[in-house]
């Protein structure tokens, strides 16, 4: 049985992973409507992964005798200044999610909940991947992608690591 404190902070993460998904959907839609089909494909794929992250938390909470709450999400932005600004937002958001996962890890140690601690290790590893892939895209944009968006848009999907396979996914 999950302790209330662990259940609550895992439910907070259900909201954060779900919001990540709709944030990336909003970015995908903006990109698609601006003729950037490759960038949109990258972001749609990312949105799908975030939905799976949310589901992992939902199922984990319920499996451990808690109750996963499906929250309302705040409205994501609809406009982004440039592609580079957009990916800087992605990185900033991933930094926020990493800090959030780390806080849950800390709570599991305080509460001596080693099962949840173990469940979180997949996310700890995933966040390293997420931050480095956002940073790699920003680096490519700085290297010249900004001045040749056509080529950058065409090639971005090749920068995508094969989706990290989650235990039980």
Binding positions for Fe ion, rule: CB under 5 A: 17, 50, 53, 130
Tokens of 106: 């800390």
Select the residue whose beta carbon is closest to Fe ion and give its number: 53
Indicate the length of the chain as a whole number. 169
In the complex with Fe ion, the residue whose CB is nearer, 69 or 91, is: 91
CB of 115 to Fe ion, least distance (A): 20
Name which of 65 and 167 has its Cβ closer to Fe ion.
167
| Whole-number Å distance between alpha carbons of 143 and 140 | 5
Nearer to Fe ion, 13 or 31 (CB): 13
Least distance in angstroms from the C-beta of 78 to Fe ion: 20
CA 34-54-59 angle, 5° bins:
155
How is residue 54 written in tokens? 């949310």
CB 97 to Fe ion: min, Å: 6
CA 30 to centroid of chain Cα atoms: 18
| Integer Cα distance of 154 and 61 in angstroms | 40
**In the complex, least distance from residue 17 CB atom to Fe ion, rounded to whole angstroms:** 5
């Amino acid at each position: 049985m999950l302790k209330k404190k662990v259940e609550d902070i895992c439910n907070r993460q259900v909201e954060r992973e779900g919001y990540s998904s709709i944030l990336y959907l909003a970015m995908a839609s903006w990109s698609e409507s601006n003729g950037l089909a490759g960038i949109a494909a990258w972001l749609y794929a990312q949105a799908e992964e975030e939905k799976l992250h949310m589901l992992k938390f939902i199922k984990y909470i319920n499996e451990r005798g808690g109750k996963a709450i499906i929250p309302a999400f705040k409205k994501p932005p609809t406009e982004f200044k440039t592609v580079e600004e957009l990916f800087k937002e992605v990185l900033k958001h991933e930094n926020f999610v990493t800090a959030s996962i780390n806080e849950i890890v800390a709570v599991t140690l305080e509460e001596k909940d080693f099962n949840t601690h173990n469940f979180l290790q997949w996310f700890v590893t995933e966040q390293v991947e997420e931050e480095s892939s956002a940073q790699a895209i920003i680096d490519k944009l700085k290297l010249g992608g900004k001045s040749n968006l056509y080529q950058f848009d065409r090639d971005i999907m090749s920068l995508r690591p094969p989706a990290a396979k989650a235990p039980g996914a």
